[in-house]
């Protein structure tokens, strides 16, 4: 146990040296690390949101809304298909998760079924089956036809909605210009967003809370909105929407969309050249420009509505055909609102609304206080343990303390190297590790004391102390490691940070307390060859 091969000594020394080297960057200001020569460690520990301040959001994509949209557009397709073939029908609509329609003439049933079946497309097999399947399933009960979206199609749509949502969330957050946001999928329908160091977390939620579905539609001129509401009958193909800045003022808007927001190629905040009020300038792609040009040409002097998420932003009158593919949205915005709208329009619409399930925002003040408190607590805990060990075991206690210092360096080094996240409970994990790390040395030293008392020679006692304590040390530490791994599986954010430091600490403390400390003792013994031990 006390004999070390030369290569082993070199290896242990290298590991310790690497620990110090990789933990070193944490003691320098971050700015000074950018011009470190290549190859030298320059990574600092990644601080968690609870230490650096920032927002943690758990979002849920409303997949049900996506499926409802899908059914609605399916109904539209069925209507068109049946009309094109002059098939008469009644009761076309959505019931639960199926679209239903009743064919009036039984003789036309087969033809209708065929028409609807022709609407289906193939989707790649989701999950384990690789064979493509139809996206809809058409069945009938007498004259009543039911159309159901297949499970494979549902999964495919869910996957694409998730990908699209993540992409759009990323674009919106990137527009805020924050550094190192984390955006990742969690489970089937959730998105985890972590944005460090945010000055205005409210604005982040504003940006993520909107679907940002923009449409340009004509205003129905045949009746005023008030008349339609009083009469209680809204003309077919139109709907009542309200102004964004005044939810009492209704506008009668055609359902037919002239141009959708998906045809925008750019949107920038700006100011109106005449009134000087904040506006958003936008540009259509070529298709959008052509569509917009055609509609405006045919509807000069009619008002049209710019609709965002079911609210009318503004309803200007078309003075002349707009063919250049450019335009301006004004809607008594503040500068910040215009800025946000431009971001939303550039990033595109979400396929479904996002619901915030969980939000944790820590201000920079609390984060800085937590770091300071954590530092003080670690230093005091560290000092207390070191003094206690030196008092109890004298010279051997000092050797254990050196191993303990190396241990802390290794923990910091591993955290920096892995770029694991250090949280406030993570700091607690380090402090706890400092307290528990000496356990292995205590086990060994107590064992050596016992062997000495039993009358063994110094060298025999040392040998026995290290070898007998090993299996106990391993058993005892594996139990803590098991607890840390379970905790890692359970936790997210701060708690997971605790599990990480605890697990790293268990591994490094066994190494330093058993191997590094043993190397010290062995070297000391070979130099001195003492006849007695003061332990």
Partner 1 sequence: MRHLKLIPSDTKIPFIKFRHVAVGISVLLIIASAALTMMRGLNFGIDFEGGILLEVATDGPADIGGLRTKLGSLGLGEVQIQEFGEANDVLIRVQTPDEGGDAASQAVIDKIKGALGEGVDYRRVEVVGPQVSGELIQSGVTAVILAIILMLIYIWFRFEWQFSLGSVLALVHDVALTIGVFSFLQLDFSLQTIAAILTIIGYSMNDTVVVYDRIRENLRKYKRMDLGELVDLSINETLSRTVMTSGTTLLALFALYIFGGEVLRDFTFAMIFGILVGTYSSIFIASPLLLYIGVKRDWSGTGDAKVQQAKG
Stretch that binds partner 1, among 115-123, 230-238, 315-323, 445-453 (CB under 8 A): 445-453
Stretch that binds partner 1, among 121-129, 141-149, 155-163, 426-434 (CB under 8 A): 426-434
Q: How many Cβ atoms sit within 10 Å of the Cβ of residue 447? A: 19
- 479 interacts with partner 1 by CB under 8 A: yes
For partner 1, give the closer residue by CB, 149 or 424: 424
Stretch that binds partner 1, among 108-116, 144-152, 281-289, 361-369 (CB under 8 A): 361-369
> Applying CB under 8 A, which of residues 153, 308, 484, 510 lies at the interface with partner 1?
484
* Relative orientation angle of helices 424-453 and 494-510, to the nearest 10 degrees: 30
- 67 interacts with partner 1 by CB under 8 A: no
- 58 interacts with partner 1 by CB under 8 A: yes
Alpha carbons 489 and 506: distance in angstroms, whole number: 17
Beta-carbon contacts of residue 403 (< 8 Å; ≥ 6 apart)? 441, 512, 513, 516, 517, 520
Name the DSSP class of 508. Answer: H
Beta-carbon contacts of residue 130 (< 8 Å; ≥ 6 apart)? 124
Return the residues of window 492-531 that contact partner 1 according to CB under 8 A. 494-495, 498-499, 502
Alpha carbons 11 and 120: distance in angstroms, whole number: 65
Annotate 207-256 with DSSP letters as a single string. HHH----EEEEEEP-SS-HHHHHHHT-PPTTEEEEEETTEEEEEEEEEEE
For residues 312 and 243, the answer to whether their CB atoms sit within 8 Å is yes
Alpha carbons 320 and 309: distance in angstroms, whole number: 27
- Count the residues of the shown chain that bind partner 1, applying the rule CB under 8 A: 79
Alpha carbons 84 and 126: distance in angstroms, whole number: 33
For residues 150 and 136, the answer to whether their CB atoms sit within 8 Å is yes
- 405 interacts with partner 1 by CB under 8 A: no
For partner 1, give the closer residue by CB, 58 or 147: 58
Cβ 322 to partner 1, closest distance in Å? Answer: 35
- 487 interacts with partner 1 by CB under 8 A: yes
Cβ 404 to partner 1, closest distance in Å? Answer: 10
> Applying CB under 8 A, which of residues 361, 398, 418, 463 lies at the interface with partner 1?
361
> Applying CB under 8 A, which of residues 13, 14, 335, 356 lies at the interface with partner 1?
356
For partner 1, give the closer residue by CB, 122 or 356: 356
- 489 interacts with partner 1 by CB under 8 A: yes
- 428 interacts with partner 1 by CB under 8 A: yes
Beta-carbon contacts of residue 181 (< 8 Å; ≥ 6 apart)? 170, 173, 174, 193, 194, 195, 196
Structure tokens at 520: 């010290």
- 41 interacts with partner 1 by CB under 8 A: no
Stretch that binds partner 1, among 3-11, 126-134, 146-154, 473-481 (CB under 8 A): 473-481
Alpha carbons 374 and 341: distance in angstroms, whole number: 41
Nearest to 51 by CA among 358, 409, 365, 360: 365
Cβ 120 to partner 1, closest distance in Å? Answer: 34
Cβ 354 to partner 1, closest distance in Å? Answer: 9
- 460 interacts with partner 1 by CB under 8 A: no
> Applying CB under 8 A, which of residues 392, 402, 417, 507 lies at the interface with partner 1?
392
Do β-strands 326-329 and 311-314 pair in parallel, antiparallel, or remain unpaired? unpaired
Return the residues of window 144-203 that contact partner 1 according to CB under 8 A. 201
- 490 interacts with partner 1 by CB under 8 A: yes
> Applying CB under 8 A, which of residues 152, 192, 258, 434 lies at the interface with partner 1?
434
């Amino acid at each position: 146990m006390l004999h070390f091969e030369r290569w082993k000594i070199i290896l242990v020394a290298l590991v310790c040296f690497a620990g110090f080297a990789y933990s070193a960057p944490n003691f320098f200001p971050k700015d000074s690390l950018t011009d470190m020569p290549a190859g030298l460690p320059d990574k600092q520990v990644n601080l968690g949101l609870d230490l650096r301040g920032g927002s943690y959001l758990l979002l849920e994509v409303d997949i049900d809304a996506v499926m409802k949209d899908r059914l609605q557009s399916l109904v539209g397709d069925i209507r068109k298909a049946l009309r094109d073939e002059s098939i008469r029908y009644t009761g076309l609509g959505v019931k639960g998760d199926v679209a239903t329609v009743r064919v009036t003439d039984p003789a036309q049933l087969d033809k209708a079924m065929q028409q609807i079946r022709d609407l289906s497309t193939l989707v790649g097999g989701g999950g384990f089956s690789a064979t493509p399947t139809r996206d809809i399933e058409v069945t009938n009960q007498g004259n009543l036809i039911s159309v159901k979206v297949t499970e494979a199609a549902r999964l495919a749509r869910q996957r694409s909605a998730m990908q699209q949502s993540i992409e759009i969330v990323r674009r919106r957050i990137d527009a805020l210009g924050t550094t190192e946001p984390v955006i990742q999928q969690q489970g089937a329908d959730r998105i985890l967003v972590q944005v460090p160091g945010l000055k205005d977390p409210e604005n982040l939620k504003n940006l993520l809370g909107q679907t940002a579905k923009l449409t340009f539609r004509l205003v129905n001129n045949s009746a005023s909105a008030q008349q339609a509401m009083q009469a209680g009958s809204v003309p077919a193909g139109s709907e009542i929407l309200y102004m964004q800045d005044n939810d009492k003022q209704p506008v009668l808007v055609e359902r037919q969309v002239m141009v959708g927001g998906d045809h925008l190629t750019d949107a920038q905040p700006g100011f109106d050249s005449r009134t000087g009020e904040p506006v958003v300038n936008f540009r259509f792609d070529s298709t959008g420009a052509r569509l917009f040009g055609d509609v405006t040409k045919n509807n000069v002097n009619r008002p049209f509505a710019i609709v965002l998420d079911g609210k009318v932003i503004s309803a200007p009158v078309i003075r002349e055909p707009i063919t250049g593919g450019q335009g301006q949205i004004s809607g008594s915005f503040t500068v910040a609102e215009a800025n946000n709208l431009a971001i939303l329009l550039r990033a595109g619409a979400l396929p479904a609304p996002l619901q915030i399930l969980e939000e944790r925002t820590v201000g920079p003040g609390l984060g800085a206080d937590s770091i300071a408190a954590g530092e003080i607590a670690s230093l005091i805990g560290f000092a207390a343990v070191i003094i206690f060990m030196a008092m109890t075991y004298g010279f051997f206690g000092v050797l254990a303390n050196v191993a303990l210092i190396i241990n802390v360096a290794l923990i910091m080094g591993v955290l920096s190297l892995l770029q694991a996240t250090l949280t406030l409970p993570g700091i607690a994990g380090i402090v706890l590790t400092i307290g528990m790390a000496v356990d292995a040395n205590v086990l060994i030293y107590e064992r050596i004391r016992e062997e000495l008392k039993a009358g063994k020679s110094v060298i025999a006692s040392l040998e026995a102390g290290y070898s007998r304590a090993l299996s106990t040390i391993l058993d005892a530490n594996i139990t803590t490691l098991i607890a840390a791994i379970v905790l890692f599986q359970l936790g997210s954010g701060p708690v997971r940070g605790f599990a990480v430091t605890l697990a790293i600490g268990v591994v490094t403390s066994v190494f330093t307390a058993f191997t590094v400390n043993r190397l010290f003792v062995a070297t000391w013994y070979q130099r001195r060859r003492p006849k007695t031990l003061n332990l």
